[in-house]
Amino acid sequence: MIQVPLHSRFEAALESAVVYDNPAQDVRVVVEFTSAANVFRVDAFWDGEHCWRVRFSPSHTGRWSWRTLSSPAGDPGLHGQSGEFDCFEAASWNAWLSNGPLQVSADRRHLEYGNGKPFFWLADTAWNGPLKASETDWEIYLADRSAKGFSAIQFVATQWLGAAADAEGRPAYTNPARIQIEPAFFQRLDCRIDRINHFNLVAAPVLAWAATWNQGSAHLNPGTSLKDDQLIVLIRYLVSRYGAHQVVWLLAGDGTYQGAEAERWRRIGRAALAGSSRLATIHPSGRIWVDGEFDRESWYSFNGYQSGQWNDAESSRWINRPRMEKDAERQRPTIDIEPCYEDHLPLDVPGAARIDARDVRRASYWSLLAGPVAGITYGAHGVWSWENFPAVPISHPKSGLQKHGETPSHFQAARASLTCERSSTPLPGGA
């Protein structure tokens, strides 16, 4: 009998007996996991050629059984497959196996592990990291961020206006009219996300970048270039592939999410995140407050906002917006998931000095003091875009040239404004 530690990942491979022109579109495979009176349903995902996989994170110990149901049901390799495994509780150095996945606290003011232990969101921004980093650089980076006390890594999980493809030139999908998934892109991404969790960090992928401010590159953003039905196919694929990891979904990135746009993303969230057990929020563009647009959505777990790439007094005043939210019944954790980035040029301020460590601290402390303390995100120019050489990030001409020497290959000596002591036992090497 297969043995699976509590809160870890069970994975099974399936082999289709039918050749599909577009597997992610032509067939849907749902896998039912049953233990006692509990039934959980997750989608399997296509992983290239005849291979499909299902991943599942068991929520309690005991005997589990599973069976597949495909639609249409004419493929014996995908429909009616079954199996069993035993889930056991194991002592572990890994925070997720010991404490369980993240949830919102009972008072709805902060995040916590599944066992009630408080979780402070101290994220770093590596939007392009998993797309562009080599295995060696990614390992160095994660070891550095873990040692500094970070607890989450924010990144983009598909092509977007900041990166048209991964380091090998592969996009996440092709043919926007009826998307075709590129499994090799995600096989590479698997390794990067696995390592995030290995270092006791939660992975926070943006599932669909949705910025409209750069019309020349907006076609790269799935959130602006795909029709809703295709966007839902893409997001469901991401959820099926990574929903058993320790993740927090950032449904969409850098949109305004107000009025008709908010209604669109409410519909997409309901369709694409239905059944996901992981927390989710949305990433708005700078100085836009969207909590009221989503706070009644069942998939929406906490309020994420962006105080933005400014270091002026107006930005500091705007950060106090959480103080205005006084409806206790609708209270939820609130986190500034994009304050100003260190060494970035302030937006639309000609001749302004670069944002420095003091600016970052001021924005971060104001954000933390403006409401219940749930967390904060840090960002550094050259790190978020993962520049290996001095460069101005693609599609971001106003951000300024990344300084020489502050590249992902030199994280051991990299400066970081937000650090803290880490008291946990150092992580062992290996996978």
Domains in the chain, CATH or no CATH each: 2-90 (2.60.40.10), 98-413 (3.20.20.80)
pLDDT of residue 423 exceeding 80: no
Region of residue 386 (left: phi > 0; alpha: psi -120 to 50; beta: else): left
Strands of 2-5's sheet, edge to edge? Answer: 2-5, 82-88, 62-71, 28-35, 38-43
189 vs 213, which has greater pLDDT? 189
Whether 240 contacts 181, CB under 8 Å:
no
Q: Residue 422: which pLDDT band, with cuts at 50, 70 and 90?
A: very low
Q: How confident is the model at residue 347 (pLDDT cuts 50, 70, 90)?
A: confident
Spatial distance between the Cα atoms of 223 and 227, rounded to a whole number of angstroms: 8
Give mean pLDDT, residues 374-388: 93
Q: Tokens 């000596």 label which residue?
A: 413
pLDDT of residue 350: 82
* Structure confidence by residue, pLDDT tens digits, 80-104: 999 999 999 988 889 999 999 999 9
Mean pLDDT of the chain: 90
Among 49-53, 121-125, 310-314, whose mean pLDDT is lowest? 310-314
pLDDT in tens, 226-242: 999 999 999 999 999 99
Encode pLDDT of 132-162 as tens digits.
999 999 999 999 999 999 999 999 999 999 9
Q: How many CA atoms lie within 13 A of 240 on its CB side?
A: 23
Is the confidence at residue 263, as pLDDT, over 80? yes
* Residues contacting 106, CB < 8 A, separation 6+: none
Of the pLDDT bands very low, low, confident and very high (cuts 50, 70, 90), residue 218 is confident
pLDDT at 376: 97
Write down the pTM of the prediction: 0.93
